[in-house]
Structure 1
Amino acid sequence: MNGGRIKMTKSICGVDCTKCELSNTCNGCTETKGRPFGSECIVALCLKDGENALCEFKKNLIAAFNELNIQDMELVTNLNALKGSFINIKYPLPNGQLVKFWDDNKIYFGNQLHKKDSDRCYGIVADEKYLLVAEYGEYGSNAEVIVFKRWR
């Protein structure tokens, strides 16, 4: 037991929970039926329809990101399962208001790609409905939304 929590050892997607830095705050995806932090996990959602469904979803999502043809963005070849709180930075709207687009407790697919010939990065994030490409500096500074759209 860990502060009243059961130590998780098996995940739905095969991640070794004993090596995860979030294991002390996670309620376990198997135990919560794919809602380890109280919100949905995109991996668990896909796996409800089998491993092939997960592979197909990721393949289609990677293609959707690459079809955006964003200049200076590396080709997307891989997506990682990421907790919303890791990727949920604030973005300025045209009126100056700062907003977050994602649920801190949901698990999304995403990655960070370096912008060619720059010290800035592209952050890509998606769930089953929306995808986002943002450009930002170190630690998410000076974030700018490049694309936010419905993809399916």
Structure 2
Amino acid sequence: MNLNATMFAQAIVFAILVWFTMKYVWPPLAKVLDDRALKIGEGLAAAEKAKIELTMASRRVEEELGKSRSESASRLADAERRAQQIIEEAKARATEEAVKIRVSAETEAEQFILRAREQLREQVAVLAVQGAEQILRREVNAGVHADLLARLKTEL
């Protein structure tokens, strides 16, 4: 066998292999590589889009948090004002009630004092009548009368 013929045959086989690879192997492989590159590009674009959306969502979240904070602070301030108002109203009602109770108690005390005085007057009158009865029943004696009057004083 001749070295030139072997080299020529190998060159023809190599050319057939190149042609076969270019015709049947390379196009599907190139298509797979192109599809993969397209998917990677789409993934990168989606990642960039997601990053932008995340940034926008973060801004919206911060804005909503700011609104919520200001709204909660406003509600808290309103609640504190309302609480102060309720406290003031309760104090006013309590003061009015205390005045009513004091007036009622003073009136009741005055009535009790008047009743007590009236009872004392009745008791003094009864005692005076009893004392006069006892004086009139006994004989007229200055020592005995002084003793009765002293007892009458202690009873009063």
Q: TM-score, normalization: structure 1?
A: 0.19
Greater per-residue strand proportion: 1
TM-score normalised over the length of structure 2? 0.19
- Higher share of residues assigned helix: 2
Greater relative contact order (Cα < 8 A, sep 6+): 1
